[in-house]
Amino acid sequence: MTTAAIGKPISRVDGRAKVTGSAKYAAEYNVPNLAYGYIVSATVAKGKIARIDASAALAVPGVIEVFTHEKTKHLAWFDRSYQDEVAPPGSPFRPLYDDEIQYNMQPVALVVAEDFGIARYAATLVRVEYERVAFATDLEQQRAQAYVPPKKRNGIPPPGKPRGDADAAIASAEITHEAEYVMPYEHHNPMEMYGSTVVYEPDGKLTIYEKTQGAPNCQTYVVKVFGYSTGEVRVISSYVGGAFGSGLRPQHQLLLAVLAARELKRSVRVSLTREQMFSLSYRPYTFLPISLGANRDGTLTAIKHSATAVTSRFEDYQEDDVNWSGALYKCANSKFNYELAQLDLNTPCDMRAPGGATGMYALECAMDELAYKIGIDPLELRLKNFAEKDQNKDLPFSSNELRKCYAQGAEKFGWSKRNPEPRSMREGNQLIGWGMATGLWDAQRMKASAKALLTADGKLEVSSATTDIGTGTYTIMTQIAAETLGLPMDRVMFRLGDSSMPMAPVEGGSWTAATVGPAVQAACQAVGKKLFGYAKKIKGSPLAKAKFEDIEFGDGQMRLKGGASQSVALTEALRHAKVASIEEEATAAPGSEAKKYSMYVRSAIFAEVKVDEAFGTVRVTRVVNAIAGGRVLNPKTARSQIIGGVVWGIGMALEEESHLDHQFGRFMNHSLAEYHVPVNADIHDIEVIFVEERDEIINSLGVKGLGEIGIVGTASAIANAIYHATGKRVRDLPITLDKVMRTE
């Protein structure tokens, strides 16, 4: 392969469309005779709708209809129990299904009007009276009722089995550290708000432009809930302005838009406001008690890690918060527990590195605290307890270059110059702190299909129903296709985000590169084999005697490996065979490797903070994140994923938190003015290192996903740096200035 596209820092192939505005997002499609829906949200946390009066709203000129649970009773809901591809066990929330209020801000009505402004205004005139009942939204108070979820969530492994005797080992340990860490609520705040444009076709079929991480998942959902056949519903999601997990499940505006379009026999768009984004899902508030035991020399002798997390009354949402603690470090005695407590809130949902970001935050801060108690360098403590195999699964790793991450990250950061003494480094009134942490995340792979179409003009079009949520899927899939058939990038077009394309799972879990990549490769290889067959049949073909294994694709040619003169152009093979095109579809799925090997992506993060001694304000002035993520398909998009994760890690450490007012059971800071995320001024130097890691086992490309690892561990490195700067341990995120300054 000489037309190497893989491994090059290629700019996004969709970049021009995005910056010029020609890339259309779900709520941007212009459709004739479009009606606009605006959602009315509940203002109480629990109870029943006693009365709902839409007459004033209906009287507004331009209002077409107001849908309430009373009006939707007669509507067809064929499969009321349908759970989407990533649903946790339970019964999914169904908007406008009945008079019950299950959480504050749940939709109670949909006003549909000739334009958005009219709908929004009329929504203020819908009068809703509630019968309120007592509710609970305080995890602290509900903690005593926590339970081990009886039914496991699909894809979430239960906490690792206990090993040895962790309680006895803690009791007899020379050094122990026991503390509780707290993860607050966080809400997904992608740039693009949720929106659905449902096009009601003349024959009653639906074409839906949807913001989602999985067009097929939304298609199946609409089909099941409304009793359509698959051919009647097409979901398109060509561009997604960020999602971070919030688009893994169909959101309620989709159902409401379809409902209205069906009833009105008209195209309808429903989009959410920024405030309404906070009525969707969230990263769950979680208590994370952890106990570590060690010998004086730094050998870990015990790990106990528990989590008590929020879920709703109607679904048992689960994460693998504690599992990482059983896999990352070598330890003979360990015990894990994961519990849920039900609150009167919407169900939480996956948010970038769900479970990993939360659980590893506790583990990696606890390891730092233990290092101080032992009097050992935190990096040395980690190296001392380096895991050579996965003790959770009792399996070897498919690859593990974490040591290189530690070494190269430390070198770049200058870790050896660190004085371990807290408050020992300063610059005027700025206390300087250096902290580090490890990151660990699953290197998963699912099953997916792709189709490749090569036409006589030498152009290749490849498609799969996967998504690009801003990660670079368009670009890396184009690279894989270009490389496999030896074509220049500009001859290859990759399409995605359409339920009519070959099947792919939701874009989540950082699995897309490793899942869709091999399918794209396989489809292109199938085209290549067919071409080769044609090339051999050409009279006097230089490849007549060659086997497929002997040839390579490059510069638009098939040629004998090492014998560039014996070649046939791809277009020539097509021309001689008298075919206008070759189309091949292929499916690629994981084999038995996951039973024989444990597969992870890893990182070492080093952070520098400067803390104002008088004001307690924290700046993260430097972060070095060294990643072991297998083969890097595109260093530019890969780096951009890690930077995004680190930025979020900074937000997680210092800023992000959704505040519940327990008087109302409502998230109160539902705007970007009050829900703080990092802005440019908060972000300083971020350095990303990809260490060399070869993985021959994981998949045909040797690739691991990079979408989530960047956030894992980053908040811990920052929290640890703040301790080093100030001597102050803050275990409840975010570490705001009041916490830095509080006296215990």
List residues with catalytic annotation. Answer: 708
| 465 belongs to the binding site for ligand MOS (CB under 6 A) | no
State the alpha helices, DSSP H only, in 243-335. Answer: 252-264, 274-277, 324-327
Residue 188 Cβ vs ligand MOS, minimum distance, rounded to whole Å:
9
The whole-angstrom separation of Cα 685 and Cα 676 is: 20
CA 146 to chain centre: 26
Helix 635-654 × helix 356-374 angle, to 10°: 70
Q: Applying CB under 6 A, does 649 fall inside the site for ligand MOS?
A: no
If binding is defined by CB under 6 A, does position 509 make contact with ligand MOS?
yes
Choose, by CB under 6 A, the member of 113, 199, 351, 740 that binds ligand MOS.
351
Give the residue among 176, 142, 428, 125 at the shortest CA–CA distance from 296.
Answer: 176
Residue 443 or 730: the one with the smaller Cβ distance to ligand MOS is: 443
Q: Of 123 and 709, which CB lies nearer to ligand MOS in the complex structure?
A: 709
> Closer CB to ligand MOS, residue 280 or residue 689?
280
Shortest distance, CB of residue 509 to ligand MOS, whole angstroms?
4
Q: Quick one: 159 or 245, whose CB is closer to ligand MOS? A: 245
d(CA 515, CA 504): 8
Residue type, 37: G
DSSP codes of every residue in 60-97: STTEEEEEEHHHHTTS--S-TT---TTPPSB----TTS
Answer yes or no whether residue 468 interacts with ligand MOS by CB under 6 A: no
Distance separating alpha carbons of residues 699 and 601, to the nearest angstrom: 14
* Stretch (H or E) spanning 493: strand 492-495
Neighbouring residues of 269: CB distance < 8 A, sequence distance ≥ 6: 27, 31, 34, 35, 36, 37, 195, 196, 197, 198, 257
Interface residue with ligand MOS among 66, 139, 236, 248 (CB under 6 A) is 248
Residues 196-215 close enough to bind ligand MOS by CB under 6 A: 213
DSSP character for 27?
G
The stretch near ligand MOS (CB under 6 A) out of 224-232, 347-355, 631-639, 698-706 is 347-355
Q: What's the closest the beta carbon of residue 48 comes to ligand MOS, in angstroms?
A: 34
Q: Which listed residue (47, 95, 195, 354) binds ligand MOS by CB under 6 A?
A: 354
DSSP string, 204-263: S-EEEEE--S-HHHHHHHHHHHHT--GGGEEEE-S--S--TTTTSSPPHHHHHHHHHHHH
- How many amino acids of this chain bind ligand MOS (CB under 6 A)? 10
Q: Does 153 bind ligand MOS (CB under 6 A)?
A: no
Q: How far is the CB of 646 from ligand MOS (least distance, A)?
A: 16
Closest CB to ligand MOS among 243 and 733?
243
Rounded least distance, CB 248 to ligand MOS, Å: 6
Q: Does residue number 350 form part of the binding site for ligand MOS (CB under 6 A)? A: yes
Pick the stretch among 32-40, 344-352, 442-450, 621-629 that binds ligand MOS (CB under 6 A): 344-352
Q: Considering the rule CB under 6 A, would residue 348 count as an interface residue with ligand MOS?
A: no
DSSP 194: P
Residue from 731, 718, 654 nearest 289 by CA:
731
Nearer residue to ligand MOS within complex by CB, 213 or 716: 213
Q: Is residue 352 a contact residue for ligand MOS (CB under 6 A)?
A: yes
Among 243-251, 268-276, 296-304, 690-698, the segment contacting ligand MOS (CB under 6 A): 243-251
Q: Rule CB under 6 A: say whether 608 interacts with ligand MOS.
A: no
88 near ligand MOS, rule: CB under 6 A: no
DSSP letters for 364-414:
HHHHHHHHHHHT--HHHHHHHTB-SEETTTTEEBS---HHHHHHHHHHHHT
Using CA atoms, how far residue 245 sits from 59, 190, 213, 309, in Å, is 39, 10, 8, 18
Which of 88, 250, 378, 508 is close enough to bind ligand MOS by CB under 6 A?
508
As measured in angstroms, the least distance from the Cβ of 351 to ligand MOS is 5
User: Is residue 319 part of the contact set for ligand MOS (CB under 6 A)?
Assistant: no
665 is an interface residue for ligand MOS by CB under 6 A: no
Q: Cβ closer to ligand MOS: 94 or 188? A: 188
**Hey, how many other C-beta atoms are within 10 angstroms of the C-beta on 547?**
9
- Positions in 212-241 near ligand MOS (CB under 6 A): 213
Contact status: 356 vs ligand MOS (CB under 6 A):
no
**Tokens found for residue 553:** 């694709």
Q: Three-state SS for 554?
A: strand
- Segment 250-279, which members bind ligand MOS (CB under 6 A)? none
Contact by Cβ (8 Å): 507, 467 = yes
Residues within the interface to ligand MOS (CB under 6 A): 213, 244-245, 248, 350-352, 354, 508-509
